[in-house]
Structure 1
Amino acid sequence: MTQCWIMEGNLAYLLGSEDMSVGYMSPASNSSAAYEHNFYYPELDINCDLDNIPAFASAFFPVLYSLLFVTGLVGNALVIWILTAFKNVRAMTDVYLLNLAISDLLFVFSLPFLVQYSITTQWTFGNAMCKIISSAYFIGFYSSAFFITIMSVDRYLAIVQSVYALRVRTAARGAITSLVLWAVAVLASAPDLIFFQETTYDNQTKCLPHYPGSSNGWRTFSNFEVNVLGWLIPVGVLIFCYHSILTNLQKCHTQNKYRAIKLAFIVVIVFILFWTPVNIVLFLDSLKNMHIIDDCQTSQRLDLAMELAEALSFVHCCLNPVIYAFVGEKFKKHLHEAFRKYARFLLFCKDHSGHRLDKHSSAHAASSQSSSVGVVL
């Protein structure tokens, strides 16, 4: 009964309706799909006509990437603004949420380059930018997956291990954990910084991973790295944490029980829905690298599936602000307060400028009247 009483208070944390201080791409890292729509695999000795894939990509993906860039930029920028301007990032939850928004923004900033690349199929930004953008892309991907995972652990501690959580869930520990996760994300992305480079092939300039040697070892390793670090471990942790949360919620008759259950299901289902397809395709791409899949028709379908799966995974960075921030009552209150202050500021500026305009008009009218009188006299 005591555990249920403690859980009642911590449910507010899961739902984001109370102060958190008392209690939160998929890359085809080796497939060229992330930056390449010609799907050039010279090491496979497969001669397939894939011209239909660039045509499809150049018509559909620039529009999609542009929409995702705008929505992802606005949503995550709003989260950062609210957290820094109104909440002061005093709780572990706020630290993780801030870092998740930053990682999503890092991920989103690669989209304009993908738009240009989808349209022209040419890389025009130089070798240095090829390495920088590809690294930012993968760092954003890994860090986003890591922070979603650690936020699930944080929720597990707050609700299932609530007594222990009071001692360990501090902003300082959250900052240290965030630095560690960023370091791991940078290390996981190091191969992309090293191997991605500007390459000229068939009179076209591309930004592609160029792995040493004639084998596909590095490419396959990078695929499995994404599968394990970016999907298998996060999904395992999410399922364990939210299964434990739901099990504990079933024992208690709390006020927000069913809302918390629904939110837990949404977090897990959305992550699996948007990240599983691209990881399945990456796994199949590894089979292709190992020549287990080597027929032309399957290669064509796999390349197109990579494009579609990556586009689906991009959507997740736009949904994170909605799932983790905007559903919380406390966060929505801060957001409403922010817009209200901003609207009040705009009205003040409008009234002030209007007042100055009226004074200027009155002075101008008086001056005109004086001039007329002077002429008459």
Structure 2
Amino acid sequence: MDSLYNFDSDCEGGGMNISDEEAKELLLYSNGMVFYTQCILPILLLLGFLDNAAFVYVVTKQSSMKTATNRYLVNLAIADIVFLLSAIGEKLWKFANSPLVDDDIPIGPVGCVVLPFLVDTAYFASLFFVTLVSAEIFFAVCYPKGKSLFQHRTWSLWLTVLAWLLSGITAGLIAPSNTGLEYLCFTWSGSELTKSLPEVLAMCGRELPWLRTLMHVVQIVPFFITLFLNAFLYVKIVIGLNRSIIRLRSHTSVKRDGDTHLRNQIARMLVVNGVIFFLLLAPFEILSLLEAVNVYLSTSHEVLTSTITRGLMYLNSVVNPIIYTAMSQRYREAFKNAFTPTPKCRLLGSLPNRGGQPSSTQTYFKMSQTTTKI
């Protein structure tokens, strides 16, 4: 829209004449957008809040689940909750308070700064915590005898604080591009379609090219850095698992089928989680990359593409705990124990590990007696 119309700080110069066709195409919610906003977004918000909150509850309730990996995953779940509440909540609030698409008047100048800051902070935090999980698993595979900083409780807490701090700083670099409101004023045709529409629309931010470019760069760079870093770690993890199995076969008599199955389970969980996480975020980041180099789609295609890519981002925050639970029997058992009333004499699942099943990433790696170097 801003490529077709000029925004101003006030409406003293009068509004521009808008035809019914332009209003329908550019300014009003289509039937598809109404369905998406009224039905799809609330469902994503509800599901995402419930399953992420359930994951946090399970980990805090089950003593055996309090591992370094799960501390990072709990913070990932918290970041997803904040992201969904801020991003989807903003869309629903604006839809309920203005008939015009992307009208930021309902959130005001304060909302222009606070809501994007929360969204961006949560988004960057999710990137950092997924990377911390990958790094923790990498050290568990490649250095099973050592106690890495990622696994030590004190250091994992500091890394958690650092991840949130870096997320806030990175989001703060984008904040200047959202300050203030730019107004667009209209003179409607007076038809039945437009006679009840407001004459002013506002959008957050200033129309300064360098601010827009800065916003895209700051948003894109962390994504692609963490994408390539996680891909590198996943490759190293799979290689490390294969080397561990080869060493194990040459030193012990453990059945090969069991080794291969456990290796494949770990590798599959990593690959599935990483691929889904970055695949759902990639379309939005690619669209931002195109805009950063001044490549724009047509107006109708831009609206559709933006809606789809943002919807995939919301979906990503919904499916994160589902992936881990679906791919890990340990998480499924923890959910069952947390939400199923059990007699006290049978509350074994909630007790800490004491020589039983090793915690998450240590399940396989404790079997190997020699360190696998990469």
Q: Of 261, 274, 287, which residue of structure 1 is paired with 2:267?
A: 261
Q: Tell whether the 8 Å contact from 1:75 to 1:321 is kept in structure 2 after alignment.
A: yes
- 2:227 equivalent in structure 1: 235
- 2:219 equivalent in structure 1: 226
Q: Tell whether the 8 Å contact from 1:124 to 1:205 is kept in structure 2 after alignment.
A: no
Cα deviations across residues 75-101 of structure 1 (Å, max 9, x unaligned)?
110011112222387432122111111
Is residue 276 of structure 2 the alignment partner of residue 270 of structure 1? yes
Q: Tell whether the 8 Å contact from 1:100 to 1:148 is kept in structure 2 after alignment.
A: yes
Q: Of 224, 236, 255, which residue of structure 2 is paired with 1:244?
A: 236
Q: In the aligned structure 2, how far is the partner of 1:173 from the partner of 1:113?
A: 35
Can you give the 5+ residue segments of structure 1 that lack an aligned partner in the other structure?
1-37, 345-377
CA RMSD of aligned residues (A): 2.9
Can you give the 5+ residue segments of structure 2 that lack an aligned partner in the other structure?
8-17, 186-198, 246-255, 345-374
Q: Tell whether the 8 Å contact from 1:281 to 1:302 is kept in structure 2 after alignment.
A: no
Sort the Cα spacing of 1:174 and 1:39 in 2 relative to 1 into closer, same or farther, 3 A.
farther
Q: Tell whether the 8 Å contact from 2:75 to 2:129 is kept in structure 1 after alignment.
A: yes
How many residues in Structure 1 have an aligned counterpart in Structure 2? 295
Moved more, 271-280 or 162-171: 162-171
CA offset at residue 264 of structure 1?
A: 2.1
- 2:25 equivalent in structure 1: 52
Structure with greater proportional helix content = 1
Q: In the aligned structure 2, how far is the partner of 1:43 from the partner of 1:287?
A: 21
Q: In the aligned structure 2, how far is the partner of 1:332 from the partner of 1:228?
A: 35
Is residue 106 of structure 2 the alignment partner of residue 100 of structure 1? no
Q: Percent identity?
A: 15
CA offset at residue 138 of structure 1?
A: 0.9
Sort the Cα spacing of 1:39 and 1:337 in 2 relative to 1 into closer, same or farther, 3 A.
farther
SS at match of 2:321: helix
- 1:314 equivalent in structure 2: 314
Is residue 205 of structure 2 the alignment partner of residue 209 of structure 1? yes
Sort the Cα spacing of 1:218 and 1:80 in 2 relative to 1 into closer, same or farther, 3 A.
same
Cα deviations across residues 38-65 of structure 1 (Å, max 9, x unaligned)?
5667579xx9958436424333233221
Q: Tell whether the 8 Å contact from 1:39 to 1:50 is kept in structure 2 after alignment.
A: no
- 1:331 equivalent in structure 2: 331
Q: Which amino acid aligns with 1:310?
A: R
Q: Give TM-score scaled by structure 2 length.
A: 0.70
Q: In the aligned structure 1, how far is the partner of 2:124 from the partner of 2:47?
A: 20
Q: Which amino acid aligns with 1:225?
A: V
CA offset at residue 237 of structure 1?
A: 1.4
Structure with larger Rg:
1
Cα deviations across residues 105-164 of structure 1 (Å, max 9, x unaligned)?
110112122123245334424332332222111111111111111111111111122223
Q: Tell whether the 8 Å contact from 1:107 to 1:137 is kept in structure 2 after alignment.
A: yes
Q: In the aligned structure 1, how far is the partner of 2:74 from the partner of 2:40?
A: 26
Q: Give TM-score scaled by structure 1 length.
A: 0.70
SS at match of 2:106: coil
Q: Tell whether the 8 Å contact from 1:91 to 1:170 is kept in structure 2 after alignment.
A: no
- 2:153 equivalent in structure 1: 171
Is residue 162 of structure 2 the alignment partner of residue 180 of structure 1? yes
